[in-house]
Amino acid sequence: DYIVSKDVSGVRLAVGGIAKGYAVDRAMEILRGKNLSAALINAGGDLYCLGTKNGNPWRVGIQEPRNTNGLAEVLQMRESAVATSGDYQRYYMENGVRYHHILNPSTGLPARQSRSATIVSSNTEQADAFATALFIMGPVDGIGWVNSLPEIEGMVIDSTGTTYYSDGFADLLEK
């Protein structure tokens, strides 16, 4: 359980960064309560894979940020969550500059080090929140941070299109 308080009037808490992940986890609880052994719940890219699909791992594609028809990677998933934060779904262009919805809290401006950040975790709410944090941190600080976390894996596509992986991420990739 978490308790949030504030001392400054006019300050508000926005939970949009974890709401989809939280919803997926609650829906998965309901399915588990019905003794379902296999399911995939997807809430706009934040998803959980329960069990397997006909005995095989679930195949989950990570979108290529600058090619809506392309995949950067395909994961093999079972009993885990994946969430991706990126600058390519909600944005606008002005004078050749991409303005997206993931803000760097230090500057108040769109984070610029990443195009996409993906987290694989045991629960979707955590994956959702950590993917946004990883996106903002960028590949160097972010992948170092992910490597320090137990049972979390991550991938970042940086602002130039170069892909970086946490130490165990390759184990999740489709062979």
Predicted pLDDT at 17: 59
What mean pLDDT is predicted for residues 100-119? 92
Residue-level pLDDT at 16: 56
Q: Which residue has the higher pLDDT, 145 or 98?
A: 145
Amino acid letter, residue 58:
W
Q: What whole-number distance in Å separates Cα of residue 98 and Cα of residue 112?
A: 9
pLDDT more than 90, % of the chain: 77
Tokens representing 173 are: 């990739």
DSSP structural state of residue 109: S
Query: Whole-number mean pLDDT of the chain?
Result: 91
The C-alpha torsion from 123 through 44 and 140 to 79, rounded to 10°, is 30
pLDDT of residue 5: 65
Residue pLDDT, tens place only, 35-85? 999 999 999 889 999 999 999 999 999 999 999 899 999 999 999 999 999
Burial class (CB in 10 A: 0-12, 13-18, 19+), 172: buried
pLDDT at 6 over 80: no
Predicted pLDDT of residue 29: 95
User: Model pTM?
Assistant: 0.88
Residue 100 has pLDDT above 70, yes or no: yes
